[in-house]
Structure 1
Amino acid sequence: MLDMSEFANAIFYSQPFSNFLGAELDQVGKDSAQISVAIREELRQQHGFAHGGVISYLADNSLTFAGGLALGGDALTAEFKINYVRPARGKRLIARASTLSAGSRQAVCQSLIYSVNDDGVESLCAAALGTIVAAPANPARE
C-alpha cells in the first residue's frame, strides 16, 4: 500500500480539473492539506480579481483532501460553506485545510484561502467549513 502522501498525490494529479487549473498539492499531513494555484489572466473575473469559482475549487478540494487523509482513504465532499472575506489579488492563491473532527466515516474540516502578492505577503480572502465523507468502495455505482 502506498503511504498517504503518495496516495494523495496520485489522486490529486489524476484530477483533470486540477490539472486544467494548474493547481499543486503543496503539502499533506495526517489530517491536513495545502493546495495552491497561480493566478493567471484566464482565472480572473472582470475586475481583475481571482474568480470566486477558483477560490471555491481550492476550498472544496483542500477540505476533501484534509478530510480524506483524516479518514484514511478516498473521500467526497458532502457539503461546504464558504465566506468570501475580500477580493483575491496578487499572483497566487493558497488553501490550507485542516480537520476539526473525524469519525469513522465523516470529518468536519476548515479551509482558509489566502492570496499572495508579489512581495509574498498573504491576505485572507475566504474561509470555508465542510463535511467530508469516506468514498464508497465503488463510487460510480452509488
Structure 2
Amino acid sequence: MSENPRLLERLEAVIRATPFAALMGARVNALGDGVVELEVDVKPEVMHQHHGFVHGAVVGFMADSACAWAAASVAGDVVTSEYKLNLLAPAVGERLLARGRVLKASSRSLATFAEVFAIRNGEEKLVAVALASVAKVGGEGGR
C-alpha cells in the first residue's frame, strides 16, 4: 500500500470536520491504492449497548467509513449510496479495527468491501463484514 501524505491529510481533515467521526475518535492507520485501515478505541460509556457489546451503529460506522475511505483513495470525493452489514459476532474489546478495499471502480461508482475486527488482549476477532456501493461526487449539484 503506497501512502499519499496529501490524501491522508485530506481524510484526517474530513474526520475532524465530521462530528460523529470525531466523537468516535477515528484514526487512519494506512491509506492508499484502494485500501484503508482505520481504528477507534472503544469508549464503553458511549459505545456499548445494554449487553456490553460495542453498539451495532459503531460497527456500522467503521464498516461504512472503511468502504468510503478506501473508495476515496482512488476516486476523490465520494458518498456511500448503499451498504449491507453482516454482524458476525459480538464486538467486545479495547479497539475496533476496520479494513476496507475497492473491489471494482467504474466512471461513477465503486463496489467496496470491509471487515471489522474487535481487538481484545491483542487478538483480532472478525465481528462484521460489509459490501457497499460508493458514488463519486461530481462538481456542482452533487452526485
TM-score, with length taken from structure 2: 0.89
Alpha-carbon displacement from aligned partner over 1:9-51 (angstroms, at most 9, x marks no partner) = 2222221111111111221112111121111112001111100
User: Runs of 5+ in structure 1 lacking a partner?
Assistant: none
Q: Is the 8 A contact 1:87 1:125 kept in 2?
A: yes
How far residue 69 of structure 1 moved from its aligned partner, in angstroms, is 1.4
What is residue 71 of structure 2 aligned with on the other side?
67
Give the 3-state SS of the residue equivalent to 1:13 in structure 2. Answer: helix
CA-atom RMSD in angstroms: 1.6
Q: Is the 8 A contact 1:68 1:133 kept in 2?
A: no
What is residue 105 of structure 1 aligned with on the other side?
108
What is residue 13 of structure 1 aligned with on the other side?
16
TM-score, with length taken from structure 1: 0.90
How far residue 127 of structure 1 moved from its aligned partner, in angstroms, is 0.2
Match of 1:58 among 62, 84, 100: 62
How far residue 5 of structure 1 moved from its aligned partner, in angstroms, is 2.3
* Residue correspondences, number: 138
CA distance in 1, matches of 2:47, 2:140: 33
Q: Is the 8 A contact 1:31 1:70 kept in 2?
A: yes
User: Runs of 5+ in structure 2 lacking a partner?
Assistant: none
Letter in 2 for 1:95: A
Identity between Structure 1 and Structure 2 (%): 30
Q: Is the 8 A contact 1:63 1:97 kept in 2?
A: yes
Give the 3-state SS of the residue equivalent to 2:89 in structure 1. Answer: coil
